[in-house]
């Protein structure tokens, strides 16, 4: 337990507010964690799985009304409404505190208050930050123990400092009408009530690592981004690192854990995973941009994860993993989900705990947003730099989206400022999987739309400021689109491991080893510079998906202009200028 006066004073406040029967400080020791697992199994909060097939693995079910992040119940509580911006929900802080404390008051009666000290990032790293979460959920404790670095070492590093993030989670009655996830960026405070679902209650994840951290980054001169980090090793043993941002359902985790095509693997190429979701980046002593993954585990979507789509992610779940809202196979006490394989269990319980026969049921067995929480160290391709306190140097930043026609397979921005423009216009077209019309363009700048903790206009401005700070050592910025469709609606590019071919070109561009063709939107590869060896894919088809259609982009420019209007006078002049320059180039 800490001697930090600011922490102890806050814990006293929480005890008075929540009135728990007892308080347990989490030290992260295996003995304490194992005792909590056993307690959770005894109450039914967890189900212990087959320990021979899935050692250290457990199943958890949330309430049926509590299965995903709730963006309409998520608020930024800045003192001024304009600081939350047009893309966030806002509440006045004092009103929000009163409402939340009234909801949470006395809700720990008959329950235990767990106090979790945790570090986002390697403990002691100059890029890391420390938080405390209080919760009445063992599920939260066990997940935070996988997703963050928990325990006494963290408290030692914090010492007497007041630079830490407060996090209050209270399950209350899991009442969706009183469910709120609120962030107070100016106070370093997060409060979540009436949810037990990981995305709303593991407060180190999106709440701290993106919403609070993006605001801290703006104030302190660094960046918190919704990005994977991966290392690409060539046959000479040199590793170059890239970070990449994609909206959901665009293959981010698959890219983070990519396995190169067989020919590349035989020649000695490797891919190393540093992170699959979040990157904290700042200028290093050498002037380059250095990044850490603030997380310690993966909180992945289970459905669709299989041996073909992502063998490394699947392997990561084979031990010490908590599964949430998947199918329980009663025959061997293991788990299953849609897309795992073509053999659904016939004697099973679905994600709600009801009898389910995968051969005859018309209902899905696992919830579409069912999850696995797995230690990153389980991943076969985890980078040796995963725990490096200095992080890794970033050579390239990659943006992407899901576009049927407009965007080429890959292009490079003209410079940093143009790259910020490319990130700001990131978009995906809705698919049949989403509710509503198909093919509607939804913009998600830098994949940060739901996660930016302040006004997005100011967020764009911060990107331009970072470009000035980094100067000629700034990473090169690229955009990819794996999702071009043919006339029959089939994907043209094979994707998955073959995306490595595009990554290879990106690295070569960073090293100045290949030329490119200039277009109105940026630089596209010469088709012969993308290696198609071992791939049944014609160079003419490649030329087609590298082509830039100026008419389509003129229409795109209209959509961008409409989107930019949202930000009013907060839109940086640089972005308006970039759009004007694009229109001019297109008209020529």
At 215-226, the pLDDT tens digits run 999 999 999 999
Query: Considering the domain boundaries, does residue 210 fall inside one?
Result: yes
Nearest to 122 by CA among 280, 287, 312, 315: 280
- Taking alpha carbons only, the member of 277, 279, 275 closest to residue 222 is 279
Q: Give the model's confidence band at 9: pLDDT under 50 very low, under 70 low, under 90 confident, else very high.
A: very high
Q: Which residues are annotated as a binding site for substrate?
A: 69, 197-199, 248, 369-371
Q: Give yes or no: residues 430 and 490 share one domain.
A: yes
Between CA 211 and CA 183 the distance in angstroms is 7
pLDDT tens readout for residues 130-171? 999 999 999 999 999 999 999 999 999 999 999 999 999 999
CA distance 169 to 286: 40
Q: Average pLDDT for residues 525-532, to the nearest whole number?
A: 98
Structure tokens given for 572: 């940086």
Tokens standing for residue 329: 């196979």
Mean pLDDT of 456-466: 98
Binding residues: 69, 197-199, 206, 226, 248-254, 277, 369-371, 402, 496-499
Over residues 536-552, the pLDDT tens digits come to 999 999 999 999 999 99
Residues 162 and 249 in one domain: no
What value does the mean pLDDT of the chain take?
97
Q: Which residues are annotated as a binding site for GTP?
A: 249-254, 371, 402, 496-499
Same domain, 256 and 302: no
Alpha carbon distance 499, 258 (integer Å): 8
Residues of the chain above pLDDT 90, percent? 96
Let me know if residue 192 belongs to a domain.
yes
Residue 250 predicted with pLDDT over 90: no
236 and 208 part of one domain: no
| pLDDT above 80: residue 433 | no
In a domain, 393, yes or no: yes
Which contiguous run of DSSP H or E holds residue 291?
strand 289-292
Q: What is the tens place of the pLDDT at every residue in 562-571?
A: 999 999 999 9
Q: Which of these three, 360, 378, 396, is where a domain ends?
A: 378
**Is residue 187 packed enough to be buried (19+ CB in 10 Å), middle (13-18) or exposed (0-12)?**
middle
Tokens, residue 480: 């990819």
Domain that holds residue 172: 5-45+70-220
Q: Are residues 94 and 142 in the same domain?
A: yes
400/426 same-domain check: yes
Contact 139, 66 (CB under 8 A): no
| Average confidence (pLDDT) over 336-358 | 98
DSSP E strands, 78-184: 89-90, 112-120, 129-135, 149-150, 165-170, 180-184
CA distance 421 to 425: 6
Dump strand ranges (E) for 461-508.
Answer: 476-480
Shared domain for 391 and 420, answered yes or no, is yes
Token duo for residue 186: 């100016």
Residue 478 in this model has a pLDDT that exceeds 80? yes
Give the whole-angstrom CA distance, residue 403 versus residue 25. Answer: 48
- pLDDT-derived band at 103 (thresholds 50, 70, 90) equals very high
Strands 427-429 and 441-443: antiparallel
Which residue ranges are tagged as binding site for Mn(2+)? 206, 226, 277
Instruction: State residue 17's pLDDT score.
Output: 98
DSSP designation for 178:
G
Residue showing tokens 């307690």:
39
Residue written as tokens 């996090």? 167
Catalytic center residues: 250
Gyration radius of the chain over CA positions: 24
Domain boundary among 220, 252, 277: 220
């Amino acid at each position: 337990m800490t001697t930090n006066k600011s922490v102890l004073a806050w814990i006293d406040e929480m005890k008075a507010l929540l009135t728990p029967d007892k308080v347990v400080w989490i030290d992260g020791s295996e003995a304490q964690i194992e005792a909590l697992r056993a307690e959770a199994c005894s109450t039914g909060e967890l189900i212990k799985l087959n320990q021979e097939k899935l050692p250290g693995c457990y199943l958890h079910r949330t309430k049926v009304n509590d299965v995903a992040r709730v963006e309409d119940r998520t608020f930024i509580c800045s003192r001024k409404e304009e600081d939350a911006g047009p893309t966030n929900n806002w509440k006045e802080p004092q009103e929000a505190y009163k409402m939340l404390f009234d909801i949470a008051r006395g809700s720990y009666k008959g329950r235990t208050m767990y106090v979790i000290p945790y570090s986002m990032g390697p403990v002691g790293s100059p890029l890391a930050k420390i938080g405390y979460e209080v919760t009445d959920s063992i599920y939260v404790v066990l997940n935070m123990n996988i997703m963050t670095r928990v325990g006494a070492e963290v408290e030692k590093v914090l010492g007497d400092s007041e630079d830490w993030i407060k996090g209050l989670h209270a399950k209350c009655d899991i009442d969706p009408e009183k469910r709120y996830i609120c962030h107070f960026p100016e106070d370093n405070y997060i409060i979540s009530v009436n949810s037990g679902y990981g995305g709303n209650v593991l407060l180190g994840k999106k709440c701290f690592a993106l919403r609070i951290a993006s605001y801290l980054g703006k104030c302190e001169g660094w960046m918190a981004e919704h990005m994977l980090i991966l290392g690409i090793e060539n046959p000479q043993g040199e590793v170059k690192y890239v970070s990449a941002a994609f909206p959901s359902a665009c293959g981010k985790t698959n890219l983070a854990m990519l396995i190169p095509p067989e020919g590349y693997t035989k020649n000695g190429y490797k891919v190393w995973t540093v992170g699959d979701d979040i990157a904290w980046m700042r200028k290093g002593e050498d002037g380059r941009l250095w990044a850490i993954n603030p997380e310690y585990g993966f909180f992945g979507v289970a459905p669709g994860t299989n041996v073909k789509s992502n063998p490394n992610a699947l392997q990561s779940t084979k031990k010490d993993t908590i599964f949430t809202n998947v199918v329980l196979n009663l025959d061997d006490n293991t788990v299953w989900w849609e897309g795992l394989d073509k053999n659904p269990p016939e004697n099973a319980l679905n994600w709600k705990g009801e009898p389910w026969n995968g051969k005859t049921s018309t209902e899905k067995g696992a919830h579409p947003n069912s999850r696995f929480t797995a230690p990153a160290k389980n991943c076969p391709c985890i980078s040796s730099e995963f725990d490096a306190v200095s992080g890794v140097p970033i050579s390239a930043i990659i943006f992407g989206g899901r576009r049927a026609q407009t965007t080429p397979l890959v292009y490079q921005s003209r410079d940093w400022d143009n790259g910020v423009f490319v990130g700001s216009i990131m978009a995906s077209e809705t698919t049949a999987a989403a509710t509503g019309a198909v093919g509607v363009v939804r913009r998600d700048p830098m994949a940060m739309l739901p996660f930016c903790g302040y006004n997005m206009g100011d967020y764009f401005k911060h990107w331009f400021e970072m470009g000035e700070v980094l100067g000629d050592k700034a990473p090169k910025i690229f955009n990819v689109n794996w999702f071009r469709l043919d006339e029959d609606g089939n994907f043209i590019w094979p994707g998955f491991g073959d995306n490595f071919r595009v990554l290879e070109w990106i690295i070569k561009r960073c090293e100045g080893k290949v030329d490119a063709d200039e277009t109105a939107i940026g630089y596209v590869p010469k088709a012969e510079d993308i290696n198609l060896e071992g791939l049944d894919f014609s160079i003419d088809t490649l030329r087609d998906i590298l082509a830039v259609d100026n008419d389509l982009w003129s229409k795109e420019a209209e959509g961008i202009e409409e989107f930019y209007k949202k930000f009013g006078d907060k839109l940086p002049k640089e972005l308006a200028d970039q759009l004007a320059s694009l229109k001019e180039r297109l008209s020529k």
